[in-house]
Amino acid sequence: MMFTQLPNELLDNIIKHTLPEGFESVALTCKRIYARCTIFIDRHHELRSRFQTFEYWLRPRGLNLMSASDMLMLIAAEPVVARYIRTATFKIDSRHLGRQVPKSVPSIQDGGAVVELFAKSIYLKHANLDWKEYYMTFEEDVREGRYSQHGAAFLLTLLPNIEKLIIPRAWKPNDATDKLLDAVVDKAKQSTSSLASLTRFEGAVSLNIDERFDLRWAAPFLALPHMQSFRGPSCLAFEDIPRSLAFRDSHHVAEKLQAAHLISCCIDEVGIADFLKHTPSLKTLRYWHGTKIDSPIQDWDICKFVNAVEREAGSHLVQLSVTIHELHGSIVPGQASIRGFQRLKTLEIPLELVMCNIAAAASYTRYLPWYSWVIKLSSTNPSEPFIDLIPASVAQLSLISKGVDHHEEALDALFRHFHSTHDSRLSALQEVHISCPDGADNIYKNQCDRVVKEASDKGVVVLLKPWPSAHRFLWDGEP
């Protein structure tokens, strides 16, 4: 019997199973099929409107969805809901639980649709987890009115079409949920399954100022087969806390990741090297360094950090931003060179990095014998140690500064011999953004004006910005 000749009851059941992915295609099959589909059109539009871009809500009237347990009960009652979710913002999971009468989920003995989700889970089985123990932990969390890591992780096993995910602020994995996520990743690599379509992943800043997002928590998500973009706010990863490193002692590799935006993070050279060793396809890296008052480290060795980025990713990065968002300590003296980047087109750095090289060069020449010092000055272009900070491939350059602490010396070092070095070393450079805030020193402002003239003579556009975000480059994978 042909599909179009089936009884209406069978047609309706088939159409229900096409929601949402194949519904519109099936509706265009013929007039008779379209007529049967009209019964479901309003519901299709309603579900797509409510759940395609989803985040938890608390409303005065109607259905309140405030936690993973709420979503699990809804999906257990109407499984098709899970297939509509394409973008999920779960960051306020359980935040408002105290504002309504506590909910509960059925016990294992009571059974029901929610219990069946766990009992039949192929992911719990693949992870060698006892579904009853897992469920009882989840049930206790719900009964006590608290955030459930078990519930939040299990919810992710039910989302086959999700493309963008922001995990809860309270996310803090344990052994059981680590195993469950590993099972999800394994399944996603083998076939079309939950999280297999995920391309964008974002961590969430904890509401507790004493906690930060360990970069290792991101590793399973970054290893998903189609993951392209990662945003990690307030991440922590450095040598003294090995458990914070993303991939150390982990079998995961982020093979497809192309863009990483690490915003207001505290990561040292060991942490960034560990991350970059496992991201072979990365094209864009934006790192904004931030140390809070309670950060375990305060000082930052920016030179070692930049050198680690060059060593691990110099062959494939196209866009790089390394800036200082908030620093309660000091910049550790050192020397950096980033001319080893082979494909870099967009570069953003703080002038503190140039000042490190100026100090390092001054220290080097101070201890040379007087005759070596004379030979060095007579045979070397004075600008070379500093021009080395700009790879020849760079077309867009952004220099971040507050316009104080003698940063006019940094601009002078970079652009003093611009006329003579542009054609041979910086011919790709087209656009330069320089921070020039109102509160900058006058001598710095004057130096900015000189740079504008020097560069314009070579056809390079220089934009002076009152603050770093006043005029921005486009960064691939930016949320």
Q: Is residue 23 part of a domain?
A: yes
Examine the domain organization and report whether 64 and 176 are in the same domain: yes
Q: Is residue 208 part of a domain?
A: no
Confidence check: pLDDT of 57 > 90: no
User: If DSSP codes are grouped into helix, strand and coil, which group holds residue 396?
Assistant: strand
Instruction: Tell me the pLDDT tens digit for each residue of 210-240.
Output: 567 889 999 999 999 999 999 998 888 988 8
Examine the domain organization and report whether 113 and 179 are in the same domain: yes
Examine the domain organization and report whether 26 and 122 are in the same domain: no
Residue where a domain terminates, one of 179, 198, 217: 198
Residue where a domain terminates, one of 198, 216, 251: 198
Say how far apart CA 377 and CA 354 lie, in whole Å. 20
Q: Is residue 166 part of a domain?
A: yes
Examine the domain organization and report whether 66 and 185 are in the same domain: yes
According to the model, what pLDDT value does residue 297 have? 73
Say how far apart CA 311 and CA 201 lie, in whole Å. 26
Q: How confident is the model at residue 140 (pLDDT cuts 50, 70, 90)?
A: very high
Q: Is residue 81 part of a domain?
A: yes
User: If DSSP codes are grouped into helix, strand and coil, which group holds residue 265?
Assistant: strand
Q: Is residue 119 part of a domain?
A: yes
Examine the domain organization and report whether 93 and 161 are in the same domain: yes
Examine the domain organization and report whether 21 and 92 are in the same domain: no
Examine the domain organization and report whether 165 and 69 are in the same domain: yes
Say how far apart CA 148 and CA 97 lie, in whole Å. 12
Examine the domain organization and report whether 45 and 57 are in the same domain: no
Say how far apart CA 471 and CA 207 lie, in whole Å. 30
The percent of residues above 90 in pLDDT, for the chain, comes to: 56
Q: How confident is the model at residue 360 (pLDDT cuts 50, 70, 90)?
A: confident
Confidence check: pLDDT of 367 > 70: no
Say how far apart CA 65 and CA 70 lie, in whole Å. 5
Q: Is residue 339 part of a domain?
A: no
According to the model, what pLDDT value does residue 48 have? 83
Q: Is residue 175 part of a domain?
A: yes
Examine the domain organization and report whether 15 and 121 are in the same domain: no
Name the range with the highest mean pLDDT among 109-113, 293-297, 325-329: 109-113
82, 159 contact by CB (below 8 A): yes
Examine the domain organization and report whether 37 and 130 are in the same domain: no
Confidence check: pLDDT of 35 > 80: no
Q: How confident is the model at residue 383 (pLDDT cuts 50, 70, 90)?
A: very low
User: HSE on the CB side for 306, CA within 13 Å?
Assistant: 33
Give the pair of three-digit tokens for residue 317: 């990065």
Tell me the DSSP string of 178-214: HHHHHHHHHHHHHSS-TTTT--EEE----SSTT--EE
Examine the domain organization and report whether 83 and 135 are in the same domain: yes
Confidence check: pLDDT of 134 > 50: yes
Domain count, the chain: 2
262, 478 contact by CB (below 8 A): no
Examine the domain organization and report whether 181 and 79 are in the same domain: yes
Burial state string for 275-289 with b = 16 or more CB within 10 A and e = fewer than 16? bbbbbeebbbbbbbb
Which residues constitute the domain of residue 66? 52-198
103, 136 contact by CB (below 8 A): no
Q: Is residue 138 part of a domain?
A: yes
Task: Find the length of the chain.
Answer: 479
Residue where a domain terminates, one of 148, 169, 198: 198
- Helix pair 31-51, 8-18: axis angle to 10 deg: 40
User: HSE on the CB side for 376, CA within 13 Å?
Assistant: 16
Say how far apart CA 314 and CA 379 lie, in whole Å. 29
Say how far apart CA 173 and CA 179 lie, in whole Å. 10
Number of H helices and E strands in the chain, helices first, is 19, 14
CA angle, 362 then 368 then 373, to 5°: 80
Average pLDDT, stretch 103-111?
Answer: 90
